[in-house]
Structure 1
Amino acid sequence: MKIKINDRIVGDREPCFIIAEAGVNHNGDVELAKKLIDVAEEAKVDAIKFQTFKTENVVTKDAPKAYYQIKNTGSNKSQYEMLKELELKEEDFKELYRYARKKGIIFLSTPFDFESADFLDELGIPAFKISSTDLTNLPFLEYVAEKGKPVILSTGMGTLGEIEEAIDTIKNTGNNEIVLLHCITNYPADFESLNLRAIQTLRKAFKLPVGFSDHSLGIYAPIVAVALGAVAIEKHFTLDKNLPGPDHKASLDTRELKEMVKWIRSIEKSLGDGIKRPTPEEEEIKKVARRSIVAKVNIPKGTVITEEMITFKRPGIGLSPKYYKEIIGRRARRDINIDEMIYWSDVE
């Protein structure tokens, strides 16, 4: 199955759909957000993604921070206070949407509440990216799916049963345009926890396009994921890993983002079409690299050829060694000198 997001087809045997996840790495500053769009465009990703939310609709005022949030931002503020500082206004998103379109890059944003989903729909985003945190928020999934746009669904923290419930909820609205993203919800995620083979498990279980939302350090895991068949990659990036905020330290910097895109494009070219056949270059090389049946000794005309009289040497422009049993027991039609190739015309 394939889906279309703007002019990009996402699915098997299509170029990997690369999403540069800016998230909240703008730190609440729209000008910083624009610089993130600039970097994403320069890196030649397909889409840039932010996060859209009304803090009061997402967390209670006394909701605790996650461990990684405390580690990266301290414990002196609540999760509510932290998110409120990272919240952009609707006018900011309108400005960023226009800026991304001007740059020729697809603009996406994850809605974290009903109001934000309505706003993004009206803004004109071509698809909804749903966070792993809302995998089991079935009323929200139904609400978003009813808008009729493709749904890119992260599956972090999820079981196959929970993922199936989410898919059924989306499909029951008549919306079958779904891309699943395998994900480990930890910042950063240890390599030992990534379980990249789950990409293939999800594809077999649900017969849907499957990608990978990566929270590990570096660029290695997304590259491996593409080799395993991921049709989309989502990866956090930042202008500076030392900036204050919950996600900067687990993000790629601008150089790493470009490197990731370069290697993904190289890897997907190397995957080919799966048909095992010699390349044109190999056809030429095998003429000199393979072996032919060659006279091991001088073989006078009329001699019955025995196994001891032949050997196999390069180049491979004569009879293939696979025919040696058909040569043994035949008579030489001519004098065959040592180290000469033996052809069908040389025996009777």
Structure 2
Amino acid sequence: MSFNIGHRRVGAGEPPLIIAEMSGNHNQSLERALAIVDAAAKAGAHALKLQTYTADTMTLDLAHGEFFIEDKNSLWAGSSLYSLYEKAHTPWEWHSAIFERARAHGMLAFSTPFDDTSVDFLESLGVPAYKIASFENTDLPLIRRVAATGKPMIISTGMASLAELDETVRTARAHGCRDLVLLKCTSTYPASPENSNVLTVPHLRELFGCEVGLSDHSLGVGVAVAAVALGATVVEKHFTLDRAAGGVDSVFSLEPHELAGLVLETERAWQSLGKVRYGATAAEEASRRFRRSLYVVRDMREGEIFDHTNVRAIRPGLGLAPRHLDALLGRKARQPLQRGTALDWSLVD
């Protein structure tokens, strides 16, 4: 199931692809946006992702009813949807400069489209892949349009039922998507570990026969590391220079040292998977000598009987294995033995 996104291979045989999501953390400053790209590259992220929309392509310019966020528990309480997206969007005229900066660092650069106009625009920039956000994972016309590009699709699964996901995946594949990644996602901001349910990651792989990963809105890197241990090959996290500087998504975004930790620890988790194996590895062979084994623990005369006062299982491991202790007790020493002698059967009558 592995495949390439640009120059980067994605699959179980490769280190996990780490995507730094800029979202609206540029705070409407191109200078800050480019600094975010530089910091993500320095931290070791493999890809930089934007979101491509305008307030008008997302919603209506209304500030009442369902178009206004009244939930007091929301990070964005007190804003209309339109004003939030106006504040958070990345100006389209910035995309080329941001992508060029990312590519100069050797990173992949792509985006999340939200309608046909954004797909057309991103096609003009030659993006190597597309991300579908959780809130659009049931927008089948958008899925069809993106799939028709023939480029890899990364789809977040937040809130989607199994039936909805099945319809989305079938639609994508029927309209040209050959390379697909499904990201387990919890659409709360921030998400809690308890609601992350990363055991879904291997289940997605089994059900849909595609690459799988995590779009993670939790704090820290623990959930992402757990997901990689369960087979995630892609991890997406929101990223900012400094949470204290604010921004629409800053509360649940990683800072540079945290992103560096994510890159390091997810690769370590991937390296640790290995395969089912028992017995000493080549690296462990030298440690065998420090196992317990049977040693003479006080000087013995020739013909003296072995008992618990003169033989014990101790480290290191150059003597008989401890499992031979019962067979040894009651037998005689063939010759005088000094304290610290590793026992073998040639010393026993």
Closer, same or farther: CA 65–186 of 1 in aligned 2, 3 Å: farther
Question: Percent same amino acid at aligned positions?
Answer: 36
Pick from 224, 227, 233: which aligns with 2:229? 227
Match in the other structure for 1:209: 211
Structure 2 residue aligned with 1:42 = 42
Letter in 2 for 1:320: A
For 1:176-325, what aligned pairs fall within 5 Å after superposition?
176-292=178-294, 298=300, 300=302, 311-323=312-324
Unpaired segments ≥5 residues, structure 1: none
2:11 aligns with 11
Deviation, 1:61, is 2.7
C-alpha spacing 1:136/1:69, structure 2 compared with 1 (3 Å): farther
Q: Does 1:341 align with 2:325?
A: no
Deviation by residue 1:17-42 (Cα, 9 ceiling, x = unmatched): 00011012123332221111111111
Q: 1: CA distance between counterparts of 2:213 and 2:72?
A: 26
Deviation for aligned residue 1:102: 1.7
Judged with a 3 Å threshold, the aligned counterparts in structure 2 of structure 1 residues 242 and 307 are, in CA distance, closer, same or farther, namely: closer
Q: Hey, what does 1:64 align to over in structure 2? A: 67
Is it true that 1:30 corresponds to 2:33 in the alignment?
no
**Would the aligned equivalents of 2:296 and 2:337 in 1 still touch at CA under 8 Å?**
no
Q: What's the secondary structure of 2:335's corresponding residue?
A: coil
Asked if the contact 2:2/2:12 (under 8 Å) is kept, the reply is yes
1:82 matched to 2:80 = no
DSSP-derived class of the 1:110 partner = strand
Distance 2:192 2:154 in 1: 24
2:67 is aligned with what amino acid?
P
For 1:143 and 1:203, locate their aligned partners in 2 and report how far apart those are by CA, in whole Å: 24
Task: Find the aligned partners of 1:262 and 1:232 in 2 and give their Cα distance.
Answer: 14
Cα deviations across residues 41-85 of structure 1 (Å, max 9, x unaligned)?
11110001110013322213335255679854552x521232134
- Report the Cα distance in structure 2 between the residues aligned to 1:85 and 1:192, rounded to whole angstroms: 31
When normalised by structure 1's length, the TM-score is 0.86
Cα distance, 1:223 vs structure 2? 2.3
Is the Cα contact below 8 Å between 1:73 and 1:245 reproduced in 2?
no
CA displacement, residues 91-146 of structure 1 (integer Å, 9 cap, x when unaligned): 32122222221222111211111111122122111111110111111221122112
| Secondary structure at 1:169 match in 2 | helix
In structure 1, what is the Cα distance between the partners aligned to 2:70 and 2:338?
78
> SS state of the match for residue 167, structure 1?
helix
Distance 1:336 1:148, change over 3 A: farther
Aligned-pair RMSD on alpha carbons?
3.0
2:100 matched residue in structure 1: 98
Secondary structure, aligned partner of 2:99:
helix
Residues 73, 161 of structure 1: CA spacing in aligned structure 2 closer, same or farther, 3 A cutoff? closer
Q: CA deviation at 1:322?
A: 3.5
Task: Work out the CA distance in 2 between the residues paired with 1:64 and 1:317.
Answer: 76
**Which residue number in structure 1 is paired with residue 139 of structure 2?**
137
Alignment check: 8 A CA contact 2:292 2:316 kept: yes
Point out the more displaced range, 192-201 or 132-141: 192-201
- Asked if 1 retains the 8 angstrom alpha-carbon contact of 2:201 and 2:213, the reply is yes
Q: In 2, are the aligned partners of 1:293 and 1:320 still within 8 Å (CA)? A: no
Q: Would you say the 8 A contact 1:72–1:244 is kept in 2?
A: no
Q: Flag the 1:267–1:136 CA change in 2: closer, same or farther, 3 A.
A: same
Contact 2:130–2:154 under 8 Å retained in 1: yes
**Cα shift readout 1:276-317 (whole Å, capped 9, x = no counterpart):** 34244532222133323759895856x998999864333211
What is the CA–CA distance in structure 2 between the aligned matches of 1:150 and 1:319, rounded to whole Å? 59
Task: Report the CA distance shift for 1:68/1:28 in structure 2 as closer, same or farther (over 3 A).
Answer: farther
Task: Flag structure 2 segments of 5+ consecutive residues without an equivalent.
Answer: none
More off after superposition, 167-176 vs 60-69: 60-69
Distance 2:246 2:307 in 1: 81
CA contact (8 A) 2:23 2:90 kept: no
Inter-partner Cα distance in structure 1 for 2:89 and 2:184 = 26
Superposition deviation, residue 164 in structure 1: 1.7
Name the SS of the counterpart of 1:39 in structure 2: helix
Q: Which residue of 2 aligns with 1:149?
A: 151
Structure 1 residue identity aligned to 2:234 = A
The aligned counterpart of 2:169 is 167
Q: CA deviation at 1:242?
A: 3.8
- Matches of 1:69 and 1:111 in 2, distance apart? 29
Task: Tell me: CA distance 1:68–1:260, structure 2 relative to 1, closer, same or farther (3 Å).
Answer: farther
